Structure 1
Amino acid sequence: MTARAEPAPERLRDHPAFLFFWVSRVASALAFQMLGVAVGWLVYALTGSAVALGLVGLAQFVPILVLTLVAGHVADVFDRRRIVLAGQAIAAFTLALLALGLGGGGVELPAIYAAVVMIGACRAFEHPTLAALLPRIVPGPVLPRALAVSSSALQMATIAGPAVGGFAYAFGPTVPLAGAALCYAAAATAMACVRHPPVATARSGATLASVLSGLSFIRDHKVVLGSISLDLFAVLLGGVTALLPIYASDILDVGSTGLGALRAAPAVGATLMALLLARLPLARHVGPKMFAAVAVFGLATVVFSLSRSFPLSFAALFALGAADNVSVVIRSSLVQLSTPDEMRGRVSAVNSLFVGTSNQLGEFESGMTAALFGAVGAGLVGGLGTIAVALLWMRLFPELRRVDRMPARMPARAQGLR
């Protein structure tokens, strides 16, 4: 009797929709990074104020706070692909208007903040929906690899975006903003090409219980709660992105081109780490590795804060990005592999809200702290705080610390949360 041949393992190349998903995410991230450099440098040039830089982060965070949970419910009820496409198209239109206004010399600071608010609203729908869409495109066995490859796409755009944005700003703020608008338009075009098997969804109305059910799910799953909240508080304290214009201008004296390089440095480290994780996925001791990565993130923030050398500052941000990517891949895999499909939009929305809080509200916090203690003091306190959070969370969430492997398969349904 001949032995039955084992089926060949699935590969990402067997899922062509993933390619369009990847292109859409690259273009969207590229647009956002170009926008970040242009708006950050423009606002600081207009005001010379750390508080004004912090308000840019707050302007992004407020719509995320208000809209994200609703966006999660929408992502579980309507076509996720169309939701992402609409958000990217609106972002492209908003930046095109801002670029035209700046070109005509008729845009004031409030209009810049208003455009940032609109981009934040688009991202409030785009990000959780993208996260919930990916498991429909690729199956569970290859999802961690897809997340690593998708993360590498994000990081490659984060490398190119600041560098291109910083260079383009030398020709005026209109150029990087127009380029960002074109990138968002390309992202929407690629998303329109994504195809996946139809999934039946219950067109239930948006009740308070339904909108908040993602919070209930996370509360009841301590590993998911621990991983998401660890990222929230670590990046909230340790983020120095909002202060990079100050470091580039006043401490390192490297100008807008140097600012682009500094903003790209974490993404360089993250991209190389993402490519490594795509090649050699994390197999064992994922919980301890996540805590170690967060501690390294905090230590790298401390080194950057104290540095007066551009190469050392670049190296510290490189290490920061590499460590952060390990945490991102582990957290994303744990969240997606622990959540049934009919709940992914709402759970991804909560995750996105936490990520948005740590990034955008973290920028606001950094700006306010820098106004009180200076940029160096703010970065130093934040880095030490991140290390303290990692140590504290190891005690608060022993379930996360003991996680050895990723979940083998995705659950079929959520119980009692529909």
Structure 2
Amino acid sequence: MDKTRSKPFRSLAVRNFRLFAAGQVVSVAGTWMMVVSQDWLVLDLTGDSATALGTLTALQFTPMLLLTLYGGRLADRHDKRLLLTLANLASGALALALAVLVLAGDVRPWHLYLFAIGLGTVNSFEVPARMAFVAELVGPDLLPNASALSAAYFNTARVVGPALAGLLISAVGTGPVMLLNAVSYLATVAALRLMRPAELLRPEPSGRGSGVTDGLRYVRARPDLLVPLALLAVVGLFGFNFQLTLPLLAKTVFHADATAFGLLTTAFAAGSLLAAFATTARSGRPAARTVTGSALAFGVSETAAGWAPDYVSAAVLLALTGFATIYFAQAANHRIQLGSDPRYRGRVMALYTLILQGLTPLGALLVGWLTSRYGARSGLWVGGSVSLLAALAALPASRTRRGSRTATDTGSQSCGPAPLPPTRSAGRP
């Protein structure tokens, strides 16, 4: 076996990916500082209203529910590097406008709601392009490692960002933190423009006759993609609502200040970071039972976190939940992405994003109602219990796939073309 395949940071040998990762660490850290600031601010402005926080989360993710599939179509047709540059500039401009309002003391809840809608719209195009772009940076052989490292730097930023935000909010308020986030987007823009386009491994662009519905038909014809996507839908809808449940748990159950809230979020992110590094050793497409097993572990850990008796035990259980969250999401990501034809990857990953993040508005509204009626803990233990039941329901399908592995489950996962579904007339969306 090639020794380079066992190195956890082997993708960083690729210059373009190294630039991309460096820019993302800075930008994502700023984003997580913004998340903490935004959530803390809306609770302050609305008297700790769970409904207001749920509405804010729902508005941020609603555009993704409506536009992400179209964003994936654009990613398959156009230069992903250019799309990402424009998206990060737009996000930075939105963040700057909100920071100015906060610093001027004129911010109102509806300003936060408008910002959430605007950022969600940009993310509808940025996220599928970014996820598909990683394959262009490193190629199929390094894709599992690069994907795992992407999760690692994301969660590194998720550890640093909330902890730093908690300290800064206590010291200088939310306005300067939001301003730092606006500036952080320039790191990604600079990294993208410093790349060498000739070294990108671009697939042949999809033609005009290849649209959103063609991507959906492609996925429908692939049961090995449908099962993890369906499991991801249930877990994402009910279990992945931490942007709502964590601030409510910190503030209404443990009566924590901004610093303690940041540390609770950091504990969750630290577990996520460990999971991301654990998956860097993966060199091929994970089995269906790996996806299902990690979903089971997630359901158990989140349910336990919902019943944590004190702040310290909650932090420990949330670290375990964070580990299971990323391990499951990465297993599903790798199984879906490494089983997809490169020509359809933008649309397949857009569907992945739509399921993982686009369903968040529904989940946020549901959990917001649940926690306002039954308390912050209910959002965790209900989400964990439903996720556990979904994983148990998916177990028979995992065993079936184990007994009859497809061609995409074997070999080195070169990500070459898979059988394509029949297409309809050109020009169909």
* Corresponding position of 1:415: 420
* Corresponding position of 1:211: 212
Structure 2: how far apart are the matches of 1:183 and 1:401?
45
Q: Secondary structure at the match of 2:303?
A: helix
Q: Secondary structure at the match of 2:200?
A: coil
Deviation of 1:413 after TM superposition, in Å, equals 5.9
Structure 1: how far apart are the matches of 2:71 and 2:37?
28
Instruction: Structure 1 unaligned segments of length 5 or more: list them.
Output: 1-5
The answer to whether structure 1 residue 319 and structure 2 residue 320 are counterparts is: yes
Structure 2: how far apart are the matches of 1:58 and 1:322?
25
Q: Where do 1:247-286 residues align within 5 Å? A: 247-278=249-280, 280-281=281-282, 286=287
Report the AA paired with residue 274 of structure 2: L
Q: Secondary structure at the match of 1:317?
A: helix
Deviation of 1:349 after TM superposition, in Å, equals 0.8
Structure 2: how far apart are the matches of 1:357 and 1:107?
27
Deviation of 1:359 after TM superposition, in Å, equals 4.2
Are the equivalent residues in 2 in contact too, given 1:85–1:191 (CA < 8 A)?
A: yes
Q: Where do 1:50-65 residues align within 5 Å? A: 50-65=50-65
1:315/1:115 CA distance change after superposition, 3 Å:
same
Structure 1: how far apart are the matches of 2:411 and 2:392?
22
* Corresponding position of 2:33: 34
Report the AA paired with residue 169 of structure 2: Y
1:340/1:194 CA distance change after superposition, 3 Å:
farther
Are the equivalent residues in 1 in contact too, given 2:45–2:108 (CA < 8 A)?
A: no
* Corresponding position of 2:114: 114
Q: Where do 1:333-372 residues align within 5 Å? A: 333-372=334-373
1:28/1:214 CA distance change after superposition, 3 Å:
farther
Structure 1: how far apart are the matches of 2:388 and 2:292?
9
Q: Where do 1:143-154 residues align within 5 Å? A: 143-154=143-154
1:80/1:400 CA distance change after superposition, 3 Å:
farther
Structure 2: how far apart are the matches of 1:255 and 1:405?
51
The answer to whether structure 1 residue 380 and structure 2 residue 374 are counterparts is: no
Structure 1: how far apart are the matches of 2:241 and 2:326?
16
1:395/1:198 CA distance change after superposition, 3 Å:
closer
Are the equivalent residues in 1 in contact too, given 2:306–2:377 (CA < 8 A)?
A: yes
* Corresponding position of 1:175: 176
Q: Secondary structure at the match of 2:387?
A: helix
Alignment size in residue pairs:
410
- Aligned-pair identity in percent equals 25
Q: Deviations over 1:45-93 (max 9, x none)?
A: 1112111111111111211012111111111111001111111111111
Report the AA paired with residue 390 of structure 2: V
Deviates more, 1:327-336 or 1:192-201: 192-201
1:201/1:288 CA distance change after superposition, 3 Å:
closer
Deviation of 1:200 after TM superposition, in Å, equals 6.6
TM-score (norm 2): 0.89
Q: Deviations over 1:27-62 (max 9, x none)?
A: 332232112111111111111211111111111121
Structure 1: how far apart are the matches of 2:152 and 2:232?
19
Report the AA paired with residue 258 of structure 2: S
Structure 1: how far apart are the matches of 2:124 and 2:416?
26
Deviation of 1:281 after TM superposition, in Å, equals 2.3
Deviates more, 1:405-414 or 1:36-45: 405-414
Structure 2: how far apart are the matches of 1:186 and 1:250?
36
1:83/1:42 CA distance change after superposition, 3 Å:
same
Q: Where do 1:17-32 residues align within 5 Å? A: 17-32=16-31
Structure 1: how far apart are the matches of 2:386 and 2:315?
21
Structure 1: how far apart are the matches of 2:39 and 2:310?
22
* Corresponding position of 2:69: 69
Deviates more, 1:372-381 or 1:120-129: 372-381
